[in-house]
A and B are shown apart, each in its own frame.
Chain A
């Protein structure tokens, strides 16, 4: 079954890289470049998995988007993978506090991205 994936990152190069990596996979891919746009895409397209950058410009950052998604009964089942250039304990704690399902530190290996997506996609309810 084709799964919907949202890539929310303000860096167009990261979005393009992930998109190219998943070119031949079974994902229907959506893109957002800030938090509000990401929420709108989640609301209107209801993706199965989200790759969500923590530090995005604008009034809502990745952590807030994740918190809103996970605290709503309507969207709490959506798998959220947080992306960040920071690997500190504080950031991992923050990711845990907003109930993120996985955390990838940038720059990440393509293999680890694919592995994470495979794991998260398995958890998506058919």
Chain B
């Protein structure tokens, strides 16, 4: 049976028409593998670029922070908010992530940062902000991408809070799926 199969294969390979068909099949398979490899390498480099810009953006803010004297932590937070809002042209989510990494680099603990899903009362649109808790039971200071002024939550009358949860959870989930 096995000998018969080998003979049949030999016959097929000797036949010019089959040989032509087999070489085309081989070429198509090689091309498909190459395309697949290119797509996956593009995906990998996209993730690397994402991480790279996060690092670069954070470094840029930290360099600026080193050059600026601050009287209080709140003043420093306000500076970070303003700097990220005015110097980077990213979407809401990305600016929030940069602020999160900058604050962590400034020795702020993960427990002090919360993500707030809010509705902007003026525009009636969903809006995401970062809250910084200086002390555990205090009201958070809101780092808002739409405002260069920094207020505590009670004074932010333009935003209606909807959901809030630890920023750490949000960032981890975002990075996992980016």
Interface residues of A (CB under 8 A from B): 34, 36-37, 39-40, 42-44, 58-60, 68-69, 72, 74-75
| Residue pair A39, B172 in contact (C-beta under 8 Å) | no
Asked if B117 is at the interface of the complex by the 8 Å CB criterion, the answer is: yes
Interface residues of B (CB under 8 A from A): 117, 119, 126, 160-163, 165-166, 168-170, 172-174, 177
* 16 pairs from A and B in contact (CB 8 Å cutoff): A36-B169, A36-B173, A37-B173, A39-B163, A39-B165, A40-B117, A42-B163, A43-B162, A43-B163, A59-B166, A59-B169, A59-B173, A60-B169, A68-B165, A69-B163, A72-B162
Alpha-carbon distance A39/B119, docked complex (angstroms):
14
Taking a contact as CB atoms closer than 8 A, the residue among B117, B160, B168 that contacts A43 in the complex is B117
| Residue pair B163, A60 in contact (C-beta under 8 Å) | no
B125 to chain A, nearest CB (A): 10
Known: A39-B117, A44-B126. A75 touches B162 (CB 8 A): yes
| Residue pair A74, B173 in contact (C-beta under 8 Å) | no
5 nearest interchain CB pairs?
Answer: A59-B169, A36-B173, A74-B162, A43-B117, A68-B163
Residues in B with CB closer than 8 Å to A42 are: 163
Taking a contact as CB atoms closer than 8 A, the residue among B160, B161, B172 that contacts A59 in the complex is B172
Alpha-carbon distance A58/B175, docked complex (angstroms):
12
Closest to B165 in A: A60
Residues in B with CB closer than 8 Å to A37 are: 173, 177
| Residue pair A36, B117 in contact (C-beta under 8 Å) | no
Alpha-carbon distance A37/B165, docked complex (angstroms):
13
B171 to chain A, nearest CB (A): 10
Alpha-carbon distance A119/B170, docked complex (angstroms):
33
Alpha-carbon distance A30/B170, docked complex (angstroms):
20
Closest to B125 in A: A44
Alpha-carbon distance A40/B173, docked complex (angstroms):
11
Residues in B with CB closer than 8 Å to A58 are: 169, 173
B50 to chain A, nearest CB (A): 18
B153 to chain A, nearest CB (A): 15
Residues in B with CB closer than 8 Å to A40 are: 117
Known: A37-B173, A59-B172. A43 touches B126 (CB 8 A): yes
Alpha-carbon distance A40/B174, docked complex (angstroms):
11
| Residue pair A74, B160 in contact (C-beta under 8 Å) | yes
Residues in A with CB closer than 8 Å to B163 are: 39, 42-43, 68-69, 72, 75
Alpha-carbon distance A74/B169, docked complex (angstroms):
22
